[in-house]
Amino acid sequence: MEGARVRRVTGRGPVIVTAETGTATAHTVVVATNMPILDRGGFFARASAERSYCLAFAGAEPTVAGMYLSADSPSRSLRDAPGPDGPLLLVGGNGHGTGRASSPRARIDDLVAWTRQHFPGAELTHTWSAQDYVTSHALPFVGPLVPGRSDLMVAGGYAKWGMTNGVAAALALSSRLLDGHTEWAAVLDSWSAAWLRGVPQAALLNAEVGFEMTRGWLSPLTRPGGRAPAEGKGEVRLDHVGLPTGVSTVDGVVRRVPAVCPHLGGVLRWNDAEHSWDCPLHGSRFDKDGALLEGPATCSLTRVRD
């Protein structure tokens, strides 16, 4: 079973995986979905979802050789990369908590303006965005979903270092599952004592989540319904029974979706760069039609009829 979205993981000996297209069983299951789609273990309460941006420019002068990261704020990262017609300049920065920026589009525009100011002649060729989870104790989590279970593992929280942390997680997991011993892997263990160092930060994260939950449910009260949002825009309004509804206009089409995240009830916000609905609590994302893009939610929003 490949390319099928998993909805549930239940049972033990064997573990049963229920996906959109059927079920599968296994002695051991690794949930490697960035943020685990399973709430047991409470990993969603130990990490924050962050979005970040990277842009490619041709013709930038002066050229940059190597990789650089600013020490101050707002952060900027610069590096060069080979392009079809000469070196490209890659510029990263202006990241923010998922669903917590008033205009991700403005963040990208600001990054473009900054680059053109410092590298006259730079021409934008590509843009990317990424989503990462940053844990409260600043290390990935790799190991059992809940203490004592060796048949259900998780890996994630790579904090923008997936190219290295993802490999480290794979090595740690394979060693563990094949009865090997990798000494350094202990520090990544999902239930190691290192987590305790992150408890104050986790408390702060969850206070922010509580604030975003409250803000999300109160904000639509100040926005009466009415005209469709401008092209590329979206906003949350209350529908006729008083529930938050996301209304957006993309390519001239007005769409309405329920604006309540099916994970734990956060009220979604419009992402004007990606034309998606993003959850400010734990980072689930849905496209303009409400289709699930990434979890921890495991199901889509259902379209609201006009």
Closer to ligand FES by Cβ: residue 176 or 263: 263
Rounded to an integer, what is the distance from CA 262 to the centroid of its chain? 16
Closer to ligand FES by Cβ: residue 228 or 299: 299
Closer to ligand FES by Cβ: residue 236 or 297: 297
Closer to ligand FES by Cβ: residue 93 or 266: 266
Closer to ligand FES by Cβ: residue 100 or 282: 282
Angle at 280 between CA 73 and CA 284, to 5 degrees: 115
Q: Per CB under 6 A, does 282 bind ligand FES?
A: yes
Q: Per CB under 6 A, does 259 bind ligand FES?
A: no
CB of 285 to ligand FES, least distance (A): 9
Q: Per CB under 6 A, does 281 bind ligand FES?
A: yes
CA distances from residue 30 to 153, 162, 174 in whole angstroms, order as listed:
5, 17, 10
CA distances from residue 210 to 45, 198, 217, 263 in whole angstroms, order as listed:
11, 18, 11, 15
Burial of 83 (0-12, 13-18, 19+ CB in 10 A): middle
CB of 145 to ligand FES, least distance (A): 17
Q: Per CB under 6 A, does 266 bind ligand FES?
A: yes
Site map 32..51 versus ligand FES, x via CB under 6 A: ------------x-------
User: What tokens were used for 252?
Assistant: 């001239």
Q: Per CB under 6 A, does 296 bind ligand FES?
A: yes
Burial of 163 (0-12, 13-18, 19+ CB in 10 A): exposed
Q: Per CB under 6 A, does 261 bind ligand FES?
A: yes
Q: Contacts for 261-264 with beta carbons within 8 Å, 24 or more apart? A: 261/297, 262/297, 262/298, 262/299, 262/300, 262/301, 263/44, 263/295, 263/296, 263/297, 264/39, 264/44
The residues in 103-122 that bind ligand FES, with binding defined as CB under 6 A, are none
> Judged by CB under 6 A, which of 257, 273, 297, 301 binds ligand FES?
297
Task: Count other C-beta atoms under 10 Å from residue 223's C-beta.
Answer: 13
CB of 262 to ligand FES, least distance (A): 8
Number of residues engaging ligand FES in binding (CB under 6 A): 13
Closer to ligand FES by Cβ: residue 140 or 283: 283
What distance, in Å, lies between the first and last C-alpha atoms of the chain? 37
Q: Per CB under 6 A, does 101 bind ligand FES?
A: no
3-state secondary structure of 77: strand
The site for ligand FES (CB under 6 A) is made up of 44, 261, 263-266, 279, 281-284, 296-297
